Chain A
Amino acid sequence: MASTTHIADVLRRRNNRSFFERLAGGDEIAYSITLIAAVAILAIVALIVLELWTHSTPTVKTFGFGFLTSSAWDPNSGKFGALPFIYGTCLTSFLALLIAVPLGVAASVFLAEMAPPKLSDVLTFLIELLAAVPSVIYGLIGIFILVPAIRDYLVQPLKAVFGFLPIFQGDFYGLSFLSAGIVLSIMVVPFIISVSREVLLAVPTELREAALALGATKWEATWQIVLPAASTGIIGSAFLALARALGETMAVTMVVGNTPKITASLLSPGYSIAAVIANEFAEASGDLYVSSLIFLGLVLFGLTIVINALARILILTTTRRGMK
């Protein structure tokens, strides 16, 4: 490899023509066009951030960072606070992970460690296809299938067994944090499975063989050796799923109940950042109202940036380490 690049360098130097020659040959033009495209992306992102920031200044000026900790949302009297929405966004996403991570990791263990490679490939292909299902369709399914099913079959037993816990108190209307969390978990599980399986497959086979040779059972090898080796990457996949869940709009707004409340009960209706923007942006009159919604958008953007970055770093470190 090194020698061929060296030859290429020599060739390139021999081809070292003047600027105008290169311009005539199209080299400079091609280069400039691609560079412009790359810079255009920088400009677009800068524009998005700038646009969000300038439009949210009225809120920042009026409420300062108290906006983030206030739970008042009363457009009528011009009081705005982000806390119920931040709470709802985090709670539903956390619930989604609580359900999706154990299931997803177990499934990926099966697919990576146990299933015959052919079967594993086919199942993974199908599961990855599910990641392509649009969120509005999950919302549709949520409203008409999941919410009634949760109401009829899940909540009664939950209340019977865990009814003493504050998280299962109060009345259940169908639309709730719990419903949103469950719908979200179904949406993110394909991500967790596909990334975790990839990470598990990147764990060197020698590790497994060594463990088995030392007398470990298949499960012990997986639980004590392979999973720890892949743990960072698996956590990364969870973060990736989290980022998706946080920004999810349509499915959540269709099943969460759209009520800005902070309660411990998972059975009560709530709200999320993305949902409140979807519902109220088109009608928010008054600068402060609009700017509060846009500031919420900025908060959501910030959250997803942080989570995404963490996810990427975690996944990269394990797959790299695994490949060595």
Chain B
Amino acid sequence: MTLTPAFRNVLKATILPFLAAALPLAAQTSLTGAGATFPAPIYTKWFAEYQSVGNVQINYQANGSGGGIKAITDGTVDFGASDMPLTDEQIKTFKERNGGTNILLFPTVLGAAVPSYNVPGVTGDLKFTGKALAGIFLGSIKKWNDPEIAKANPGVKLPDDNIVVVHRSDGSGTTFCWTDYLSKVSPEWSSKVGKNTSVNWPAGLGAKGNDGVAGLIKQQKGSIGYVELIYAVKNHLAYGSVQNKSGQFVKADLKSVTAAAAAVKTIPADFRVSITDQPGSGVYPISTYTWLLVPAKISDAAKRQALTGFLKWAITKGQDLVEPLDYARLPQAVVAKEEKQIALIH
């Protein structure tokens, strides 16, 4: 019968709180994290898997990288998640608020932000130059059959429809990655808008989370937005290839993202690195690491053990789970470096 376990669950949920209040040590450790929606699919997968592996329950709320940075700085969660490397100022603020404790960044996986679109009548993949993307998001390219888009897509019949730009309304590491790339390829973008988790968008509609952007693209004919690769894949959204620094049009996939990571030869000690717009053959130019943000000092021993245990698992065994979800594995050199950093958590 399905009823019995169900009923037991309900009982557990109603009675456990009272028991747990009385016996705080009896329950398994639980951790709370918040932040990036970009890696949320793999994180929720990891946390579901790790529950039985490490007897740790990790609750992850995907409220955007900005949300993750704020929550860990305010100390309202046990760890944060962001696909934007923290700025010097953000690290300084964290230290001020948390009695001088440092914050450590742990790369977990690699992913890509893809230009995803819903253009009626266009079935094949579109190709985008950096200039075209910058123009579209600046609002200077208004029609789908604009020469800048048509030039890169010979043979594709582009409609004379208006382009509806969709962007994130919340603070997002995906936005950072996207605007970081646009700033590198377009001086106009760099001076007018710049790069950050949220920017002053010159055009378009805002939607919350990668989910929200994907949802809006799906509903809105003639739209284009940027989402993490898996959100485009799992929602059957079309996404195009982007011209990289070496002039090739490359579509985001495991190989091209891994190639982007490999193109960066040295990784700084604090793992704060941007891998957008890297040169080289087969490199997807809008790729990024995504990071977990963990305080260097965790006073609760059980939580500290749970979190370090999880980190070790995630960068080793956990990597076996990432490829089915279209994320790229961490390079081996990064894993080795991270293992040393895990030991710093005290």
Contact = CB atoms under 8 A, between A and B. Distances in A.
Interface in A160-201: 171, 173-175
A279 B64 CA distance: 10
B59 to A, nearest CB: 15
Given A76-B200, A258-B208, A259-B201, A282 B220 contact: no
B332 interface: no
Contacts of B66: 283-285
A261 to B, nearest CB: 10
Contact of B198 (A76, A173, A282): A76
Contacts of B208: 258, 279
A269 interface: yes
Contacts of B64: 282-283
Interface in A280-317: 280, 282-286
B93 interface: yes
Contacts of A285: 66, 69-70, 73, 90, 93, 171
A257 B206 contact: yes
Contacts of B205: 173, 175, 257-259, 269
Contacts of A269: 205-206
A154 B66 CA distance: 37
A259 B198 CA distance: 12
A175 B216 CA distance: 9
Interface stretch (B145-153, B162-170, B309-317): B162-170
B70 A280 contact: no
A257 B164 CA distance: 12
A73 interface: yes
Majority DSSP secondary structure for residues of B touching A: mixed
Contacts of B169: 258-259, 279-280
B219 interface: yes
Contacts of A175: 205, 216
A74 interface: yes
A269 to B, nearest CB: 5
A235 B321 CA distance: 62
Nearest to A75: B198
B67 A283 contact: yes
Nearest to A290: B70
A258 B90 contact: no
Contacts of A279: 169-170, 206, 208
A304 B64 CA distance: 30
A259 B169 CA distance: 8
A283 B65 CA distance: 8
A110 B141 CA distance: 53
B40 interface: no
Interface residues of A, number: 23
Interface in A40-68: none
A274 to B, nearest CB: 14
Interface in B198-243: 198-201, 204-208, 216, 219-220, 223
Given A283-B70, A285-B90, A75 B196 contact: yes
Given A73-B200, A76-B194, A283-B67, A173 B164 contact: yes
Contacts of A280: 169-171, 198
Nearest to A285: B70
Contact of B206 (A171, A258, A282): A258
B63 interface: yes
Nearest to B90: A285
Nearest to B76: A282
A143 B70 CA distance: 29
Contacts of B197: 283
Contacts of B204: 259
Nearest to A287: B93
B206 A283 contact: no
A257 B63 CA distance: 18
A283 B67 CA distance: 4
| Residue with the highest number of chain B CB atoms closer than 10 Å, among A72, A174, A259, A279 | A279
A283 B69 contact: yes
A109 to B, nearest CB: 39
A284 B170 CA distance: 9
Contact of A258 (B199, B207, B220, B223): B207
A269 B64 CA distance: 22
B267 to A, nearest CB: 25
Contacts of B73: 285
A259 B67 contact: no
Contacts of B71: 282
Interface in A132-152: 147-148
A142 to B, nearest CB: 12
Interface of B: 63-71, 73, 90, 93, 162, 164, 169-171, 194, 196-201, 204-208, 216, 219-220, 223
Closest 7 CB pairs of A and B: A283-B66, A258-B206, A283-B67, A258-B169, A74-B200, A283-B171, A76-B196
13 contacts: A76-B200, A77-B194, A147-B219, A173-B164, A175-B216, A258-B169, A258-B207, A258-B208, A259-B169, A259-B201, A279-B170, A282-B63, A283-B65
Given A148-B219, A258-B205, 20 more contacts: A76-B198, A76-B199, A77-B200, A171-B164, A173-B164, A174-B219, A257-B206, A258-B206, A259-B169, A259-B205, A279-B208, A280-B169, A280-B198, A282-B63, A283-B63, A283-B66, A283-B70, A285-B69, A285-B70, A285-B93
